[in-house]
Amino acid sequence: MQPFAHSKTNPPPHAPWNKGRMTGQKPPLKPQEIWSIRTLLKIKGRTRDLALFNLAIDSKLRACDIVKLRTSDVMRSGAVMSRASVIQQKTGMPVRFEIMEQTREAVQQWVSRAGLTGDT
């Protein structure tokens, strides 16, 4: 019998579940990928998703902060603001960001379709 042979009590080692997969921080989206996602969302008529995606790109906020945004965070008197400020959930620090024209249009379209106001 060989000294290092595998037996029924000692199964052969398995490959790790993440072998060959990327671990850690993922690379940022490329401008071409951002453009493709925006175009796809526009074609499919997903105004909410387009508005939230654009806000995420403009603000660089975490997903948990994006989904907690209220219309009053980005709108005043029925118009989308050019700059907004929100408190990050994880750090508790305020983040100020500029809302680009393309994003303002998407948010305005979503709000008008949904019948929301800037007060909620």
For helices 47-59 and 101-114, angle between their N-to-C axes, nearest 10 degrees: 140
pLDDT tens series, the chain, 120 aa: 556 655 566 766 888 888 888 788 888 999 999 999 999 999 999 999 999 999 999 999 999 999 999 989 999 988 999 999 999 999 999 999 999 999 999 999 999 988 876 555
Could you tell me the pTM of the whole model? 0.75
Residue 10, helix vs strand vs coil: strand
Q: What is the CATH number of domain 31-114?
A: 1.10.443.10
The secondary structure of 27-90 as a DSSP string is: PPPPHHHHHHHHHHHHHTT-HHHHHHHHHHHHH---HHHHHT--HHHHEETTEE-SEEEEE-TT
For 9, the token pair is 């009590």
CA distances (Å), origin 36, targets 17, 40, 42, 50, 100: 31, 6, 10, 12, 18
